[in-house]
Amino acid sequence: MTEEIITTVEGPVGRIRLNRPKAIHALTTAMCEGVLDALEAWRGDDAVRVIAIDHAQGRGFCAGGDIRMLADSGARDGAEARAFFHTEYRMNHRLFTYAKDTVAFMDGITMGGGVGLSQPCRYRVATQNTRLAMPETGIGLFPDVGGGWYLSRLPGRIGQYLALTGARIDGAECLALGLATHYLPSDALDEAKAGLADGVAVLDRLAVAPPPAAILDRREAIDRLFASDVLEEVFAALEADGGDFARETLATLKTKSPQTMKVSLRLLKDGAGMASFADEMRQEYAVGSRVVQRHDFLEGVRAVIVDKDHAPRWDPASPEGVSDHVIDQIFAPLPEAEAWTPA
């Protein structure tokens, strides 16, 4: 069996390489455990000064998590899904608090769990191939792995727009929004990875000016149309606008789960005020452990991944049908014995 994660040490560089190319390196529990084990081993090794995270061959850095497993588990008792979230969030938190330099190479598709793996890193390299998104509302999930923290800290209401629509942004847009620290042409990545042996200054040396960030041209419209934390008010603003962007965006939102769009807005509102990343992870774990067993997630996975008819039947089918009481239940803290804890 091929190793799903390859960890090596080359001089002062600890290297973590995701190796599930057929699944665009979607994360499994074992992969998250492997990352955690490597980070723990290198934490006290003075010879290792920088950690590099990239992917083996294929068209993306990481497409997310093992969604089919999560749905299969959610349809039963949810225990395997909770174990995955618990381990993945420990990995996210360990990277967020890691003392040594960490570098993620976000070349190609970087979605869901790939965002969670890259964003805690001190240095985040985008290329012309980068396509970053948090598309979870399309399968009845929400932007987890720290999405409530990262998206709520983007300029204006861009985070809310990305969370609800699942829109993909490119490498130039990642740099402009602060989701990437460097923009490199993909043909410079091998040189950059090798050059890390002499320190992270190689990233500055090889960085180039990106093309214009198209999302900034829509900043005014996004801030205005997504100004509210109430989903019904976002829909109303889009309906009242009449412009092409508003009309296309409203059509997109009508394909997403109303329940998890409301979850996402609440997550970002709460996340903006979180005192620590650990607090964010604790809340997301409570939310995730419930959402993964609800109808919309199981139905979203059926429609997008299993049957591929792309016609999910959300329940409730409209924003008005999702009560504040249901959202409060989803966000209720877990009992202390069941709550998420850092590694």
> What residues are annotated to the active site?
65, 113, 136, 144
Return the structure tokens found at 152: 């709520």
**Contact between residue 130 and residue 108 where contact means Cβ atoms under 8 Å apart:** yes
Side chain identity at residue 279, one-letter code: D
Q: DSSP assignment of 136-185, as one string?
A: GGGGT----TTHHHHGGGSSTTHHHHHHHH---EEHHHHHHHTS-SEE--
Q: Which strands sit side by side in the sheet containing 131-133, from one edge to the other?
A: 60-62, 109-111, 131-133, 169-170
Q: How far apart are CA 283 and CA 231, in angstroms?
A: 21
Name the residue among 276, 291, 290, 295 with its Cα closest to residue 334.
Answer: 290
Furthest-apart CA pair in the chain: how many Å? 60
Q: How far apart are CA 139 and CA 301, in angstroms?
A: 6
Return the structure tokens found at 22: 């057929």
Based on its alpha-carbon atoms, the radius of gyration of the chain, rounded to whole angstroms, reads 19
| CA within 13 Å, CB half, 285 | 27
Q: How far apart are CA 144 and CA 78, in angstroms?
A: 17
**Contact between residue 163 and residue 268 where contact means Cβ atoms under 8 Å apart:** yes
